[in-house]
């Protein structure tokens, strides 16, 4: 199943995608929900971010090449993370598939980061490797847009990672997706700039969920962004960035000058 969140003339709803058609649902995938007999199509509605998370988790460094390259650019010895320390991003920055990413006037070096996103469906604490995926509703795609100068200069990632529009997420939540054989491919203006095995993470999804829930409760609607591999070229106004995860979908956003 693919859950879409969208706005039409009657408000914002959840719906189930069947090809280009959308069947409106009363409720949401996170509580009771009933399919209606109202149908629309994707070209008749505005897609929304598939969920506004209660807590917005992000793994940060979780692929070897990205971690090594990031250290090299800082002139440091690469150190791969030794444990699954989860980080955070901010809801103000979320925008859906198709929405512009606005580059602040004083931003200099803006990069994409194409990421698999885990969407939590059930409250969970003290997960084990065997049952960790039981709390997962499905998956979507995120672009962890980053300004590299601010990432170095500031005490926190607030504007480097969380400026308005810096967190495209979508287009939908797929409940049947299996990351084990998927590839994450990023294209800039149609040209492939990176292509990596989605599952080649330093710490995989069950490992993160087990570590996290030793100390915290996951709630329905929480999201966990799983990190990215490789590097990005510097992005410029007018660039169209597509992140495709095979079998899951494509997240497309245009970068514009703010």
In the complex with its own copies, which residue's Cβ is closer, 39 or 158? Answer: 158
Which range touches its own copies (CB under 8 A), out of 84-92, 168-176, 185-193, 235-243? 84-92
C-alpha separations of 105 from 99, 102, 182 in Å = 18, 9, 36
How far is residue 143's CA from residue 231's CA, in Å, rounded to a whole number?
A: 13
Say whether residue 91 binds its own copies (CB under 8 A).
Answer: yes
Instruction: Provide, rounded to whole angstroms, the least separation between the CB of residue 70 and its own copies.
Output: 13
Choosing from 92, 131, 189, 257, the residue that interacts with its own copies (CB under 8 A) is 92
Q: Per CB under 8 A, does 100 bind its own copies?
A: no
How much helix, strand and coil, in percent to the nearest 5, is found in the chain?
A: 15, 40, 45
Asked if 52 touches its own copies (CB under 8 A), the answer is: yes
Among the listed residues 28, 33, 38, 54, the single contact to its own copies using CB under 8 A: 54
Instruction: Choose one: 3-11, 36-44, 81-89, 195-203; the region binding its own copies (CB under 8 A).
Output: 81-89
Residues of this chain, 182-221, that bind its own copies according to CB under 8 A: 212, 214-219
Is the C-alpha dihedral spanning 178, 179, 180, 186 positive or negative?
Answer: positive
Given the rule CB under 8 A, which of 32-40, 66-74, 78-86, 225-233 is the region that contacts its own copies? 78-86
Q: List strand residue ranges (DSSP E) for 146-238, in order.
A: 146-147, 167-174, 183-188, 191-197, 223-225
Minimum Å gap between C-beta 196 and its own copies is 22
Phi/psi at 134 (5° precision): -65, -25
| Other Cβ atoms closer than 10 A to 179 | 21
Residue 71 sits in the site that holds its own copies (CB under 8 A): no
Residues 124-183 that bind its own copies (CB under 8 A): 125, 154-156, 158-159, 162-164
Please give the DSSP secondary-structure letter assigned to residue 201. Answer: -
Q: Burial of 58 by CB count in 10 Å (0-12 exposed, 13-18 middle, 19+ buried)?
A: buried
Q: By rule CB under 8 A, what count of residues binds its own copies?
A: 34
Integer Cα distance of 23 and 37 in angstroms = 7
d(CA 6, CA 15): 8
Biggest CA pair distance of the chain:
59
Q: Does 78 bind its own copies (CB under 8 A)?
A: no
- Residues of this chain that interact with its own copies (CB under 8 A) are 52, 54-55, 57, 60-61, 81, 83, 85-88, 90-93, 104, 125, 154-156, 158-159, 162-164, 212, 214-219, 222
């Amino acid at each position: 199943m693919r859950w879409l969140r969208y706005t039409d003339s009657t408000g914002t709803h959840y719906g189930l995608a069947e090809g280009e058609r959308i069947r409106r649902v009363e409720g949401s995938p996170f509580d009771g929900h009933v399919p209606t007999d109202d149908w629309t199509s994707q070209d008749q509605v505005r897609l929304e971010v598939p969920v506004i998370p209660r807590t917005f988790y992000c793994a940060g460094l979780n692929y070897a090449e990205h971690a090594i390259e990031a250290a090299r650019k800082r002139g440091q010895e690469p150190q791969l993370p030794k444990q699954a320390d989860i980080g955070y991003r901010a809801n103000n920055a979320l925008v859906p598939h198709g929405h512009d990413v606005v580059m602040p006037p004083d931003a200099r070096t803006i990069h994409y980061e194409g990421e698999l996103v885990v969407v939590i469906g059930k409250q969970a604490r003290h997960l084990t490797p065997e049952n960790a995926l039981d709390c997962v509703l499905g998956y979507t795609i995120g672009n962890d847009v980053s300004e590299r100068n601010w990432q170095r200069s500031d005490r926190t990632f607030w504007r480097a990672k969380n400026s308005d529009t810096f967190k495209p997420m979508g287009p939908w939540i797929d409940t049947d997706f299996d990351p084990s054989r998927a590839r994450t491919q990023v294209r800039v203006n149609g040209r492939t700039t990176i292509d990596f095995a989605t599952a080649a993470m330093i710490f995989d999804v069950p490992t993160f969920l087990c570590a996290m829930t030793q100390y915290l409760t996951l709630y329905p609607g929480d999201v966990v962004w799983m990190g990215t591999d490789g590097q990005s070229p510097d992005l410029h106004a007018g660039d169209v960035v597509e992140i495709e995860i095979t079998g899951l979908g494509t997240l497309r956003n245009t970068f514009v000058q703010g």
